[in-house]
Each structure stands twice: as C-alpha cells, then as structure tokens.
Amino acid sequence: MLVGVDFGDERIDIETSGAEVLGVWTGPERVPREMIADQIRSGLDDPRGYPALKLAVVPGDRVALAVDHRLGEVSDFLAEIVRILKRAGVEPASIRVVVPAQPRFSIEEIKASGIVLEIHDPDDPSTLAYLASTEQGRRIYLNKSLVDADFTMAIGAVSHDAIFGLKGPWSVLFPGLSDRETIRSFAAHAREHEHDLAEPGRELVESFEVGKLLGCYLHMGIVEGIAGPARVLVGDCASVHASGSQAFDAAWTFRIAEPAEIVVAGIGGVDEPNRNRRDPAGIAEFADALDSARRIVRRGGRIVILSHVNGPIGPAVQKLVEMGDDRSRTKLAREHADLVDFIEARKIAAALAWADVFVFSRLDHDLLDDLSIIPLDKPEQARKLVAASRTCAFLGRAERTRGEISLT
C-alpha cells in the first residue's frame, strides 16, 4: 500500500510493504465557502440562547470584539459582523478588535474598514482595568477596551486544550486578555491526562464566570478546516462550548483501533501554501504534533515527524535540554510554569518518555541530539523505518489533529 504524507509544501509517498496499516488521516473534508457564509449569517441572525446581534446594540454603542489571534482567516465573519453593527447605528471607529497577541491573520482589511485593531499587552498595567472578583476571590483585570465597551463579543478557534479541555472564545476573553500573572497561573494547570468534557474543570468554569461578569454573552466559535473554517457556531457560551466539542471532534479527531508500532506524522500540507508562508510551523506546532502522535503509538514505539519546523526554542524547552534524561524531563517542575513555552515543553517531554522520536525538520541537529531526538537527514529515511515495523499509522496535519485509540 502506497501512502502519501504531506508536510510543509512537500509530499512523500511511503510504501508500507508488509506492515499492517491501522489508519491514514489527511484532515477533514473541505467545506464550501458559501456554506460557511450561510452559517455566519444564520448564526448572527439567530444565535443559540441569545438575541440576534442586530438587537443587542443601539446607535452610538462602543463595541469590543475579542478575537483569537490564532485564527487564519477573519475577513468573512468580521465583514458580516461589521455590516450588522453599522446597520444598527454603530460607527466603524467605535468598533475595536482586540487580540491577545500578534495575529496570524492579515490586518490590512481591518485597517481599511475603519475599525480599530488593538494588540493586547498583558504586561502593561495601563491597558488593564479592574472588572470584579470571582466567587473564588480572584481579582479580575481585563483589557480596558473590553471593560469600557457597551457591548462585547468573543470570537475564537475551538479546539482541544491542555488547560480547558476545550478552548474557544471564552479562553480568548479570559485569561487571554487579562494580566500576565493570571495567564501564567492558568498555564500551570495544564494537564497531561485527558479532560472529562462532561465535567468542566475549574479553569473553564472561571473563564465562563468572567464572561458573565463582563456581560459578554455572545460567542462565535470557529472550527478551522484545511482551507478556511469547517464550522461556525454562534450563541451563548454554554451552547457554543457544547456544540463546539462535537464539531471539533467530528472534524479533527483521528481514531485507530489499537496503538501502532510506528506513527508517521506530517506538519502542514501542500494545499495550504498561504498558511505555510504566513504562519510557518514552529516549536508550538512541533509539540502539538508530537502530542497527537504519542496518543496513538504504543509505548516504546517510534514516532516520525516530517516537517519544515524551524525557529528558536523557548526557556522551558531549554530546561528540557539541560535536564538531559527522559525521567527528569517528565517531572518538569511547576516552578517553571511561568515560562511562556511551559505547555509545549510538557508535551515534548511526554512524547520523549513514551516513544523513540525521529524528526526531519529545519531545527538544528545538535539541539535534537540534546533532546534525545534522532534527526533525519532526508524525509525518505521514514520509508525504512516503516518497512521495519509490523503496524503503522499515518497522521497528516498532526499539529491540528487529535489522535485517539478507539474504545469500541
């Protein structure tokens, strides 16, 4: 059986020879842009559990849109939101898009529309305002533009997450647009094991609570596909969370019947050239891909990552280098939770402790050696590794996919 694996803007064909193929994943099916446009319009006209957007504002309102900086494309839904707001009497200059960090999406159309773009700085007290205290006694400081707005709406990518179980618009709002100390405190609660999405953890409950304290009841959840959104969900926080979990699972979960002896995972795809150029894969995507592959490979098996991953490592990954052995790495101390790449480091450490890792990338080979990762000089070396295995699985777009062992 010949299997094609995409990575970056390349594709390699791998002959599985005598190995049993447990599964091949290339990503969800494309959704026509017209269908997504219909979901956006109908969602804003009839949100779940909330009035239509046009009824939520009055002329002269100051509007703040908390938008996920990780989204690849925002033009379609922002254009529809702005159109509705303008017809309701809101001036473009009174609409502010607030993002937690430098956005992946193009900002040119936002500037051209006359609305304001603000990149949040969690380290600048002058951009923060006190909102209220939660039931647990946490004093909440949020981006001042959100607190001062007459109407707020949260817009975010829906996907599984080590902190919330499922991240989305709620996590963009809080802790994404809060102060640095709060953001770090949430990172410290990242879990290595599965979340029970039926039983929300305290981080998710607190995020929901802050949204209510702010008066931000309208959320838009985006389940991203291969090229553009796969699903758009609009409604109150609880509704978007519930439907978002199902939609993300349907779009991005790859299940196989049993753990494979080897998993070949590709990062990126040849049919996403704009995404590859605009947002080249880095250590964060590398960690996500490793984490997904780890979930479907047997203990002591082999993970092969094919990618164009490049870029600097953060301080937490540097700690892994300094720790040296896998046993120490898996115990990456909570005292390092304030490091910006703590979650990525935990994912890498867990994968290294579980399986042997082989990587083709643009990362420095000495760095990979120091992490006990075996560097590949060329992607074709993956073919020999597969040929020497009894069972295999192929995981395309591994940085965005959730791998699982089916229980049925």
What is the 3-class SS of the chain, one letter each residue?
A: CEEEEEECCEEEEEECCCCEEEEEECCCCCCCHHHHHHHHHHHHHCCECCCCHHHHCCCCCCEEEEECCCCCCCHHHHHHHHHHHHHCCCCHHHEEEEECCCCCCCCHHHHHHCCEEEECCCCCHHHEEEEEECCCCCEEEEEHHHHHCCEEEEEEECEEECCCEEECHHHHHCCCCECHHHHHHHHCCCCCCCCCCCCCCHHHHHHHHHHHHHCCCEEEEEEECCCCEEEEEEECHHHHHHHHHHHHHHHHEEEECCCEEEEEEECCCCCCHHHHHHCCCCHHHHHHHHHHHHCCEEEEEEEEEECCCCCCCCHHHHHHHHHCCHHHHCCCCHHHCCCCCHHHHHHHHHHHHHCEEEEECCCCHHHHHHCCCEECCCCCHHHHHHHCCCEEEEECCCCCCEEEECCC
Residues 215, 335, single domain; the answer is no
Residues 13, 119, single domain; the answer is no
Residue 333 has pLDDT above 60, yes or no: no
Residue 156 lies in a domain: yes
pLDDT at site 338: 72
Q: Which pair of structure tokens corresponds to residue 136?
A: 């647990």
Residue 198 has pLDDT above 70, yes or no: no
Domain end (from 204, 224, 244) = 224
CATH code, domain carrying 275: 3.90.226.30
Residue 193 has pLDDT above 60, yes or no: no
Residues 99, 152, single domain; the answer is yes
Residue 243 lies in a domain: no
pLDDT in tens, 17-30: 889 999 999 988 88
CA dist list (Å): 54 to 45, 80, 94, 148 = 8, 11, 16, 20
CATH code, domain carrying 216: 3.40.50.11440
Give me the mean pLDDT over the 188-216 stretch: 78
Residues 210, 256, single domain; the answer is no
Residue 370 lies in a domain: yes
Residue 32 has pLDDT above 60, yes or no: yes
| pLDDT band, residue 274 (cuts 50/70/90) | very low
Residues above pLDDT 90, as percent of the chain: 70
Residue 194 has pLDDT above 70, yes or no: no
Q: Which pair of structure tokens corresponds to residue 144?
A: 């001042």
Structural domain count of the chain? 2
Report the range of poorest mean pLDDT among 119-128, 213-222, 261-270, 287-296: 261-270
Residues 352, 397, single domain; the answer is yes
Residues 192, 302, single domain; the answer is no
Report the range of poorest mean pLDDT among 16-25, 197-206, 287-296: 197-206
Q: What is the pTM of this model?
A: 0.84
pLDDT at site 276: 43
Residues 42, 61, single domain; the answer is yes
| pLDDT band, residue 273 (cuts 50/70/90) | very low
Residue 136 lies in a domain: yes
pLDDT at site 191: 59
| pLDDT band, residue 227 (cuts 50/70/90) | confident
Residue 237 lies in a domain: no
| CB atoms inside a 10 Å sphere around CB 29 | 9
Residue 70 lies in a domain: yes
Residue 127 lies in a domain: yes
| pLDDT band, residue 341 (cuts 50/70/90) | confident
Q: What whole-number distance in Å separates Cα of residue 353 and Cα of residue 371?
A: 11
Q: Which domain holds residue 357?
A: 2-27+252-405
Give me the mean pLDDT over the 387-400 stretch: 95
Residues 336, 396, single domain; the answer is yes
| pLDDT band, residue 340 (cuts 50/70/90) | confident
Give me the mean pLDDT over the 13-19 stretch: 91
Burial class (CB in 10 A: 0-12, 13-18, 19+), 408: exposed
Q: What whole-number distance in Å separates Cα of residue 305 and Cα of residue 148?
A: 46
Residue 185 has pLDDT above 90, yes or no: no
pLDDT at site 128: 98
Which of 405, 297, 403 shows the shortest CA–CA distance to 358?
A: 297
Compute the mean pLDDT over every residue in the chain, rounded to the nearest whole number. 90
pLDDT in tens, 48-92: 999 999 999 999 999 999 999 988 888 889 999 999 999 999 999
Residues 306, 339, single domain; the answer is yes
Residues 85, 49, single domain; the answer is yes
Residue 204 has pLDDT above 70, yes or no: yes
Residue 381 lies in a domain: yes
Burial class (CB in 10 A: 0-12, 13-18, 19+), 20: middle
Give me the mean pLDDT over the 116-136 stretch: 96
Residues 268, 167, single domain; the answer is no
Residue 47 has pLDDT above 60, yes or no: yes
Residues 44, 136, single domain; the answer is yes
Domain end (from 181, 209, 224) = 224
Dmax over CA atoms of the chain, in Å, equals: 69
